[in-house]
Structure formats: structure tokens, C-alpha cells
Homo-oligomer: A and B are copies of this chain.
Amino acid sequence: MQTDIEIAQAAEVWPIQKIAQAAGIEEHELAPYGYDKAKINLDSQVKRSPDLGKLILVTSINPTPAGEGKSTVTVGLADALAMAGKKTMIALREPSLGPVMGLKGGATGGGQSQVVPMADINLHFTGDFHALTSAHDTLAALLDNSLQQGNPLNIDPRRIIWKRVLDINDRALRNTVIGMGGPKSGVPRTDGFDITVASELMAILTLSTSLMDLKARIKKIVVAYTYDEEPVTVDDLGVAGALTVILKDAINPNLVQTLAHTPAIIHGGPFANIAQGTNSILATKTALQLADYAVTEAGFGADLGGEKFLDVKVPLLGKTPDTIVIVATVRALKHHGGVALANLNEENLTALATGLENLGQHLAAMQRYGVPVLVAINQFTADTPAEMQLIKDYVQEHGAQAYVANVWGQGGAGAQELAQAVIDTTAKESDFKPLYQAQDSVEDKINAIVQTIYGGAGFELSAQAQRQLAEFQRRGWDKLPIIMAKTQYSLSDDAKQLARPKNFTIHIREFIPKLGAGFLVALTGSILTMPGLPKHPAALDIDIDENGRITGLF
């Protein structure tokens, strides 16, 4: 059986100019990066027609090690819509290099449903993440330099909240001490590194609507507090212009293609467990302006990326989804039902029934927004007819329809029925109901998320989080939306509680104010903003030969 990268390497890839032309992007609006990648000029896209296509949001159940294939379904569904004669574009996130070298593969789909060039997208792509890392760490260096050069802003080195970032899974950098080595080498203080996708600059880049909006948001970032506990911003440091210059190309969306030559815009990559988890406003808007059907996805399960898409991105995008597709697999649902990874190829209707409760919670949560919801069963070869029927029946009992899609094996041809259902559903009017209003209190917002989306009982705040909340109220920061930073594996904040836990409490240990991005992050449970590498990192199996052929990238 061919691996994903072997399929991608064997594919006939069209020159990016041909893809752009078919999508309605003119040559002067395109900056090619090699043969098959390009950036789309921002000026050109913002001048386009305000008539928008239909928006399809793909989300999923809580991920498991068994695999769900959300990106694969997103790509396969888009290819199927294109096969059905609909003008379609994909809007995806860019993969982070850290996890590619660590545990999981990239975010480029799989089998016959991939975006290409697979290896390039998973490595440096057009350099957006590197630009973000540079801008983020340049700001950190400028901040430490301000301390070093007489500290004119009266910054308290114990109250600096702007950490450093690298696009690498590096647990040894989570907690550091810097500025050692004497008076010529900085001011000693504790510090730490997050992964680049967790940077507020990543959130800002993906939420900005123009280069000047990007600069205005950067100015508002709070990096530290003074000895008098007053916030210090990037504007105070006077370096928003320089940081915007570093990000001037990164703000432009990237164009690639699927194996079936459907145009795909891939831009921005915030994780959904620690940030808003969807591609950029500009990418989604470009797809909506150019195509009749824009298929996008949000990271991890509907509880994380789905909720954030609907509550944080939609208000800025100015467009609500016309259909939401929840991806599930027989394997993953059985794993939620207690089946060990080794036994997932055996039919087990009892475990499947238990695991289906996870889908049930996500289905109810998404239906609550007033947008039509469909379920896509991403088919694996070992799935039995009885198992697939059980899912269909369950979904129907809960007011929706489930469709089997064999996108890994057949690409768009394996998702014809799902595509037709999407076409029919998006033709209907939807009536979007937001989960909360901006003026709601932080507590009310969190309660709405925990109770309605997670199915939990409530939440509790650590002593630190309580102090922070009082501070935010005092400063008037409490009207911002909430980004819950929570494990992706469970509806609760305990990664081990699979399926549909009940009566659980979400534990908020700390808030991080992100005023440039325009939201408050709530760190729950033991969620980390810098991953580690596993015992056998993927890097050990990656190689390249004298012809430039890469192996071991998946």
C-alpha cells in the first residue's frame, strides 16, 4: 500500500498559475513560490466582490489515536463538490513543523484526498510560521533590551508575560532562566518558550482584515506590567511598525491545490486547544469571494475549533456557516467506547454505542447554533455494515443525517453522497444564534461554553484566576470573547475521560489576556502551550536521498 507521501510524490501537479487562473485569480495578483505554491496579493483580494459563496465548516468528535481524518474529509468533500460541477475552494490551516518532527503527521489530508505539495506544506511552506517566530522573538529581544538599557518603561522583570516561541516541540524550553552571565548579558529573570502556533501574533495574523488592522492589533498587545502593575504594550515599546514589516508577506494567503486540482488556500495555523484554531479571516474570505462553495475546517473537535470558529471567528468574518459537517470514524467512536487500539479492527457494537455519546454531545452542541448539521463517517476498510448502520441510526434519532465517505481510498468520488447532501442543505436558510453576547460576563460566557458545548456542570477558578478576573474587570478587559485552552481528547479537561463524561467541572488555573488578538485565554486542567517530543520522534524515520526524494514524512 502506498504511503501518503508516495501518493503525493506520484501525483500530477499543475503549475500554480493554472490553478489560480481557474480560481479567478489574475497573474498580477499572484506571487509564485516555486512551481506549485503561491501567495495571493492581499490588495487584490480585499477589492473583490462582496458576494460570498456558501460556507461549509468541517469539524469532528474528540480526536483519538485511532484517527478521524478531518482534513482528509475536508479535501475529499471539496473534490466531490468540484466533481459535481460546483466552483469550490478549500480554506485550511498551515501545519506546524514541531509536531511534524514529533508525533503526528501534517495537516494535508491523506490517501487520495490530499493537498500538494505535501512535503513543502508540512515543512516551511511559504515561511509564514518562520516570520511569526521572528516577529515574536524580535519583540521579546526588544523587551529585554529595554530592561537592559535603563528600563525607561519601568517594567517589572517578574511581571513579563510575553514569552518566546519556536516552531519546535521542545519541552526543555517550557521554563527557562535567561539573562545570566553578568551585566553585559541582560537582566536575569524567569522566562519560557511556547510553540509558535500559540503566539498571540499567530492569533492576530489570522484575525486581521488588513495590514493596518494587523499593525493596530500588534500595538495593543500587553507584554508586561510595570512595578506599579500597569500594563505595558507594544505601542509603549514603539516597535509595532517593525513587527508589521516582519509580517508583511505572512499576511498574504497561500494558494495550493488538491490531488484533483481543486484550489486550496492554506493560511495561518493557530492550534484549537490553545488558540482559536482556524485558518485566517483573509483566507476564508478569499475562498468565499472566489468560489460558490468554500469548505473550511477548525482544529480538533467541535468543542474546541468548532466552538471558537462560531463564537470568535464568525463575528469578525461577517459570515456564518451554511452547513456544519461533523467527522467521525467507527474506529474512533469504538475507542471512545473503551476498545484498545489493537482491537479496533474487530466489530464491537456495544463499545460503538457507548462511544457514540461523544458524537451525540458534539451534534447537540453544533445544532444549538441554528445551522444545519451533517455527520460524515470517514470510512476505514475494517468498518462493518452493522457498525456504519448503528451510527446512521443514532444520528437520525438525534435530528441529523450521517453519510459514509471513502475519501482516503477514492478521493472526491468517495464523497458524492455527502457532497449532494451538503449542496441540498446549504440551499436552505439557516438562522445563526450566537452562544453568548459580548456584554455577557466572563463567568456567563464560560458557563455557556462548559454547559452547552462540553455538557459539563460548571467551572471553578484557581486563586490566581480569580485575582486575574478581578483585575480584568478593573481594567475593562472583561467584555472580550473567551478562548478555552483545554485538552482535545476529552469534552472535559481530563484527557482520560473519553466518550461523554457527565457532571464534570472545568478547572481554570490561569488567564492570559491577549488584547491584540482581542480575547482572553483560559488555561484549563494541565494544558501545555509547548509540546514535547515522544520517545521515538518522527524525525528518526525521516530521510532524503540523492534525488531529493523524501521518506518517512506522513
Contact = CB atoms under 8 A, between A and B. Distances in A.
B138 A539 contact: yes
Contact of A142 (B133, B142, B537): B537
Given A31-B35, A245-B543, A542-B241, A174 B186 contact: yes
A493 interface: no
A105 B194 CA distance: 30
Given A124-B249, A542-B245, A543-B242, A537 B145 contact: yes
A269 B552 CA distance: 30
B124 A239 contact: no
Contacts of A532: 145, 148, 184-186
A142 B181 contact: no
A423 B245 CA distance: 41
A238 interface: yes
B31 A34 contact: yes
A168 B138 contact: yes
Contact of A178 (B145, B176, B539): B176
A134 interface: yes
A87 interface: no
Contacts of A119: 245
Nearest to A182: B175
A342 B503 CA distance: 75
A interface bracket (residues with beta carbon within 8 Å of B): 35 or more
Interface string A126-155: 010011011001101110110111100000
A22 interface: no
Contacts of A227: none
Interface string A332-364: 000000000000000000000000000000000
A133 B198 CA distance: 19
A173 interface: yes
B533 A145 contact: yes
Contact of A168 (B32, B97, B134, B187): B134
A438 interface: no
A91 interface: no
Contact of A141 (B31, B43, B169, B241): B169
B124 A241 contact: no
A244 B168 CA distance: 16
A429 interface: no
A174 B361 CA distance: 50
A535 interface: yes
A212 interface: yes
A307 interface: no
Contacts of A210: 546
Contacts of A33: 31-34
Contact of A245 (B123, B149, B190, B212): B123
A184 to B, nearest CB: 7
Contacts of A140: 170
A292 to B, nearest CB: 30
A178 B186 contact: no
Nearest to A210: B546
B178 A535 contact: no
Given A138-B539, A148-B172, A239-B540, A211 B548 contact: yes
Contacts of A370: none
Most chain B beta-carbon contacts within 10 A, residue among A97, A133, A212: A133
Contacts of A137: 166, 168, 170
Contacts of A211: 544, 546, 548
Given A138-B101, A145-B533, A532-B145, A177 B176 contact: yes
A242 B540 contact: yes
A84 to B, nearest CB: 34
Nearest to A34: B31
Interface string A305-341: 0000000000000000000000000000000000000
A248 interface: yes
A533 B141 contact: yes
Contacts of A215: 544
Interface in A64-109: 97, 101
Contacts of A184: 171, 532
A235 to B, nearest CB: 12
Interface of A: 31-35, 39, 43, 97, 101, 119-120, 123-124, 127, 130-131, 133-134, 137-138, 140-142, 144-145, 147-150, 166-181, 184-187, 190, 210-212, 215, 238-239, 241-242, 244-246, 248-249, 532-533, 535, 537-540, 542-544, 546, 548, 550, 552-553
12 contacts: A123-B246, A124-B130, A124-B131, A130-B130, A130-B133, A137-B170, A145-B537, A171-B184, A172-B185, A172-B186, A211-B548, A242-B552
Ranked nearest first, the 9 interchain pairs of A and B with the lowest CB-CB distance are A172-B186, A241-B543, A130-B130, A175-B181, A242-B539, A141-B170, A175-B180, A144-B172, A177-B177
Given A133-B133, A171-B185, 18 more contacts: A33-B33, A33-B34, A34-B39, A97-B134, A127-B130, A130-B133, A137-B168, A141-B170, A144-B170, A171-B184, A171-B186, A173-B186, A175-B179, A175-B185, A211-B548, A212-B546, A245-B553, A248-B548
